[in-house]
Structure 1
Amino acid sequence: MRIHIPTFAAVVLFSLVWMFFGIAHLVNADALRPVVAGIPGGVFWVYFTGAAMFLAGLAIILNKWAKPACYLLALMLFVFIVVIHAPGLIRGDFSAPINILKDVGFMAAAIIIGNIRNHIRQLGQL
């Protein structure tokens, strides 16, 4: 399978976005506390998901365990939809439909990247 440079760049960009999201969760855990207020464990889940996001991005960039990382990332996003965004939609939260669509798009991208990442060994093999 021949992977072109724009595809490789998109994979790296996707990884960097998740690493940024992970760092943002870890640094701003107190600001995200209200999102997980009704969930048992509370702020622990902010730290846990932040670490998971960062590690998923790192795994994709390093191409070590990239496929499982992408599939677990997609699963985490599905859990966000079910646990956070769907209840928000029921409560009438204006941003819930946008967040659901955003996470569905990220889920699709994670699955696609998980399926193609092993075909990109290094930039020289594009």
Structure 2
Amino acid sequence: MNKNFVSRISSIGYAIIMAMFGINHLRMGESMKGYVPNYFPAPVFWVYLVGVALILAAIAIIINKVTRLACYLLGTMLVLFVLLLHLPSMTHAANPQMQALSMTMVLKDLGLAAGAFYIGSHNE
């Protein structure tokens, strides 16, 4: 099987996952606003903005246009989530279960960021 074919299918699969995250942000914006730190104004706006950004990145990957830029921006956004949302949640967790959930989110977003940077860096 051609290496480029496998890479392309994998990139599309990654994009579909990002699109689903984005759709969930748009569908459940009101219930997700609690994840936005208190120091950000208009929390629902940020949830919707992230949803749109996820969907736009997914579209860029799927149609293979401005993929490098989209992936680098997506990866940066995911690293910012780790720094601004998940690490503070992990360090301030009230119980071990919440700390474990926050650690899972840290690892998930770092893995997704690594995937975005990889796809972006290997786009021709």
Q: The TM-score by the shorter chain falls in which range? A: 0.7 to 0.9
1:11 match: 11
Report runs of 4+ in structure 1 exceeding 2 Å deviation.
2-6
- In the TM superposition, what is the alpha-carbon distance from 1:5 to its structure 2 partner? 2.4
- In the TM superposition, what is the alpha-carbon distance from 1:37 to its structure 2 partner? 5.1
- When residues 4 and 64 of structure 1 are mapped into structure 2, their CA distance, relative to the original with a 3 A threshold, is closer
1:100 match: 106
Q: How many residues get paired?
A: 117
- In the TM superposition, what is the alpha-carbon distance from 1:113 to its structure 2 partner? 0.4
Greater relative contact order: 1 or 2 (C-alpha under 8 angstroms, separation 6 or more)? Answer: 1
2:60 match: 59
- In the TM superposition, what is the alpha-carbon distance from 1:66 to its structure 2 partner? 0.4
Q: Structure 1 residue 111 and structure 2 residue 117: aligned?
A: yes
- In the TM superposition, what is the alpha-carbon distance from 1:86 to its structure 2 partner? 1.0
Question: How far apart are the structure 2 equivalents of 1:66 and 1:3?
Answer: 19
In structure 2, list runs of 5 or more residues that go unmatched: none
1:44 match: 45
1:23 match: 23
Question: How far apart are the structure 2 equivalents of 1:18 and 1:49?
Answer: 11
Give yes or no for contact 2:33–2:47 (8 Å, CA) kept in 1: yes
Give yes or no for contact 1:15–1:57 (8 Å, CA) kept in 2: yes
Partner SS for 1:87: helix
Give the stretch that moved more between structures: 28-37 or 70-79: 28-37
Opposite residue 119 of structure 2, the aligned amino acid is I
Opposite residue 60 of structure 1, the aligned amino acid is I
Give yes or no for contact 1:56–1:70 (8 Å, CA) kept in 2: yes
TM-score, normalised with respect to structure 1:
0.87
Deviations, residues 60-83 of structure 1 (Å, cap 9, x unaligned): 111111000000001100110111
Question: How far apart are the structure 1 equivalents of 2:118 and 2:25?
Answer: 24
Identical-residue share of aligned pairs (%): 33
TM-score, normalised with respect to structure 2:
0.88
Question: How far apart are the structure 2 equivalents of 1:16 and 1:83?
Answer: 25
In structure 1, list runs of 5 or more residues that go unmatched: 119-126
- In the TM superposition, what is the alpha-carbon distance from 1:43 to its structure 2 partner? 1.1
